[in-house]
Structure 1
Amino acid sequence: MGNVFPFIHMFNVKAFALACGIFWSVSLVLFGLITMQTGMGLSLVNMLSEMYLGYGPTFIGLIYGAVWGFLDGLVCGAIFAWLYNKIAG
């Protein structure tokens, strides 16, 4: 019968996972920096610190957040891309 959707492309799992890891790591650092400078978003940073051990609106907290965010984004991105490829392919 052939492929019904020939235009559907597959994700490169490694590239997508890396992009997700970098994006989430940078996002957590930006959230923390904004909170450090303005005090805005403190409740968001506090909520995220419940999930990411050591994360907070401090310099060391930003480093912890960047590492945890990268690992979390990497794993979640890899799972998402792998699952998408299995369903689409």
Structure 2
Amino acid sequence: MKLDLKAFALAGGLFWGLGIVFLTWWLLLTRDKRGRGNRYGELIGRIYPGYRVSPKGSVIGLFWGFIDGFAAAGIFGLLYNHFAKKT
């Protein structure tokens, strides 16, 4: 069975991008009373340029997360299709 690469990559991009959005809003809702986020937000900011734990940061995270998830799912789909032919 062969994967549709475009559909699989789009699904991976949406899944990862929306995951970053939901994580950002979770961090916003659960941060401490001083307004500080936590280390997860700092880690994501080191990976995705321009990202901060903020509403604007969730949009930036959606963009970078979509690109990241799209590429990862696309590569996974290519590898899957390559190895599925051999069996």
Q: Give the TM-score category using the shorter length.
A: 0.7 to 0.9
- Where structure 1 has 5 or more consecutive residues not aligned to the other structure, the ranges are 1-8
Q: How far does the alpha carbon of each residue in 1:30-83 deviate from its partner, in whole angstroms, 9 at most, with x for none?
A: 110000111287211211111101112111111110000001111111111011
Scaled by the length of structure 1, the TM-score of the pair is 0.84
Which residue of the other structure, out of 57, 62, 67, is the alignment partner of 1:61? 57
Scaled by the length of structure 2, the TM-score of the pair is 0.86
Which residue of 1 is the match for residue 67 of structure 2? Answer: 71
Which residue of the other structure, out of 44, 48, 55, is the alignment partner of 1:52? 48
| Percent sequence identity over aligned pairs | 35
- Identify which range, 34-43 or 69-78, moves more after superposition: 34-43
Q: For residues 36 and 65 of structure 1, what CA distance do their matches in structure 2 show?
A: 14
- Where structure 2 has 5 or more consecutive residues not aligned to the other structure, the ranges are none
Q: For residues 47 and 69 of structure 1, what CA distance do their matches in structure 2 show?
A: 14
1:16 matches 2:12: no
**Which 4+ stretches in 1 moved above 3 angstroms?**
none
Larger radius of gyration: 1
Q: For residues 64 and 78 of structure 1, what CA distance do their matches in structure 2 show?
A: 21
Matched pairs, number: 81
1:32 matches 2:24: yes
